[in-house]
Every structure is written in structure tokens, then in C-alpha cells.
Amino acid sequence: MNRFHFVHTAGLRLNQPFEGIGRVPSEILEVLADATAAAWRELVDTCIEKRVEFLVVAGGLEAPGDGLAGRLSLSAGLKQLAEHGVQCFLSLGPDDANATEFLSANLGDAITVFPGDRPETVLVERRDRVIAAVCGQSSSEDGEVDYRSFFAEAPEDVVRIGVVPGTTADLERGLADGGPRASYWALGDAPEASRSGFSPWIVESGSLQGRSPAAGERGAHGAMLVEVESGRVLAVDQIAVDRVRFAEIAITPRFATDDALLCHQIMDELNRLRATHSGRALLVDIVFAASDRHPVPPFSSEQTAEILERLRNDTRKWDPFVWCADLRVVNAQPDDPIGDDLAQAIVQESRALLANPLQRSYYFARRFEPLMKRWTSELDTDDAERLIADATSLALQSAGASMTDGE
């Protein structure tokens, strides 16, 4: 069996600062200052440890205004990968043009930087045998990517990896009238990871490190580890390499009139969150989720500040750190007919999936992926994909009917 792995990442931006965290102690600032570079170093070490054949970077090498420190860290990691035989392919995004000269001067032929005016195909060989065709194009001044010309020089019997710094929507527009056969599209320019489809896989790896409390920046971040066997992509798994995570906990306060008991309830949730994200520092927003059944009295700014200060003192010695960044109350929507909190959450998620094709595809891809791994060893891949498509269609029909009945 011709089996190997490669890694897909994007959104490195090694010198981009964190945003929306307010004032934090100096010891936390020190961790934040090195967090993204540390994530990059861990990704490099992981590629070497897992003996991946190559790394593809789909844009986001630099943030606007990035300085020399970020480029030196990026260059050192790419050089280390090259020394261990890991080929590196870079598709530059709109903000990465200034990095080209520096990378070329310091790394030369150790990396491949795709041109911006056309797609370029590179054949990856192992023991004198071609195992993959990697084709990419960087951003151009007019922003156009020639998707239809991808893989013009690629053999038919190898896995084909397309690398572009755009989004799934960009790819879909570019291939609206048909295009080349691909096994995997490595995309960038998205803070949050997403995956859709199996033939081909269309993957946005998300950013290497979350840097703000925005919804797409919360939770685990890193890169995608892709498993290939016999010319087919079998599995795509996230490698979490981030050192700091943004998180949000929603609490229905049981002791809203007693600050000490309320802090005790929050501390229980923080301990659960800490266990879930073991080994990661956390920047946490606390949301008091009020409802008709569980109303929350208004909190004054002074009371909010006192609760945050007490929580910060109680977590000060935790390692890695947990910093309570914000506390706010979210009131219930009075016109929502659903009173049960769990039922409401389920219906809200169903509505979101029905309204968002990309998130819906990602949702079902994640849940059917274990079946896909098993079935590809027992069935023809096309048959397995048809079964997955049928199951997805039935699930959507059932969800839509349930939503209609419920309303």
C-alpha cells in the first residue's frame, strides 16, 4: 500500500497581536506574545515526528505590518522542515507579498512558492515514484485564480492537492462551470476550520492560533493532518497546536444574589473547561444566560468588577493560566416559544445547519468520517460516497420535517 501523510495549514501570522482581551497581567502578556510562534514550532516538530511527506501553507503567512521577528521564526521552521526532508509548498495571500523576497533569499530552493499569475504543478516523489501532484497559485494583483488550469501537468493516477489562499466560496465560484479533478483542496483565509465533501475534500484549515474572542476564533486551532493511501485521501484530522484558547461559558446562575456562592458555581464551570482544554491557557468570557424560567437580576458595573476580581484571584496560580476576561448577562428572547433550555439549543443548532450549507457539510462530514474510513476498506469509494450522500439527504429531510412540525 502506498500510504503517507501531509499537513495543511494557513493563517500563521506569527507576529499578529491578540485583540479584545483588555488589560491583563504582565506574565499573561508574555505568554500571549510568544503563543503563535510557539504554535508554529510545535507544528514543525509534529510534522517531523509524524514523518509527513510535505507541508502546504494556504496563505496568511503575515499580518499587515508584520516585522522581522515573525519572518525569522517562519524561516527557521521552514528550514528545519527542509533539513528533515519535508517539502514545503507556500501559496501567498494578499498580505504576504512582502515576505517573498525574504523567503527566497533565506531558503532558496528549500521551499516552493507558487506564482501569482498562474497555477504551477509540482510532483512529489518517494523512492523514484510519484506519490502526489501539488498544484497551487498565490494571490495576484487582480485577485483572480485560474482554477480551471490546475493540474494541467499532473498524472491521472496520483493524489492531486490544490493549494490556494481563498475560501470555499471562492473555489465554488471558480469551479462553477466545471474544472479539473482534484483529491483535496487546501484552502486558507478563514479563522475557523471547516471541511466538506469526500470527493474532493474541500478544507479550510483555519488559523494556527486564535487571537480574539470572536466566535470563529474560539476553541482549538492548528492544522490538518491528511492521510493518503493508494492515491485517495482517506482521512482528515485536526492537529491542535495552539497554546492559548478563547472560550465562553454560559451559566444560569443559581445564586444570583450571593456573590460568594455565584463565584463558587463559576469556578466549577472553569474547572470543567480547564479539563476539556487540558494543557492550554484560557481566556474566558462568562455569560449569565437568563431565561423566562431562570431570570437574572441586573448586575451593576461595580458588582461585575468585584466578581471578576474574585475569580481572577482564585485562578491566579493556575498553570496554564485561566483569565476571566469578561462577564455579561444575555436576556431571553420573549417571543421564543421553546422554554426548555436543551430543546432550545437543539432547535437553534438545527436551524443554523439548515441555513448554512458549508457548516452543514462540515457537520455531516465529521459524523460520517468514521464510516467512510471503514467502508473504503470494504466498498468501492464511489459506492461509499453515494451511501454517505443518501444518508445526509435523509438526515436533512428529517431535520426539516421536524422543524416544520415543531413550529
Q: List, for residues 239-274, the tens digit of each pLDDT value.
A: 999 999 999 998 887 776 688 888 999 999 999 999
**Domain 3-240 sits in which CATH superfamily?**
Metallo-dependent phosphatases (3.60.21.10)
CA 125 to chain centre: 29
Give pLDDT, residue 144.
Answer: 83
Give pLDDT, residue 338.
Answer: 44
Work out the average pLDDT over 173-177. Answer: 87
Residue 329 φ then ψ, to 5°: -110, 130
Grid cell locating 389: 450522500
Q: Contact, 324 vs 286, CB < 8 A?
A: yes
Kindly state the DSSP code that residue 243 receives in the 8-state scheme.
S
Confidence category of residue 6, pLDDT binned at 50, 70, 90: very high
Ordered alpha helix ranges (H), 64-98: 68-83
Residue-range domain boundaries for the chain: 3-240, 245-330, 350-406
Confidence category of residue 127, pLDDT binned at 50, 70, 90: confident
Most confident by average pLDDT, 25-29, 60-64, 189-193, 343-347: 25-29
Q: List, for residues 261-308, the tens digit of each pLDDT value.
A: 889 999 999 999 999 999 999 999 999 887 666 677 777 889 899 999
More confident call, 103 vs 401: 103
Confidence category of residue 396, pLDDT binned at 50, 70, 90: low
CA distances in angstroms from 406 to 43, 134, 136, 344, 399, listed in the order given: 46, 48, 47, 11, 10
The answer to whether residue 214 scores a pLDDT higher than 60 is yes
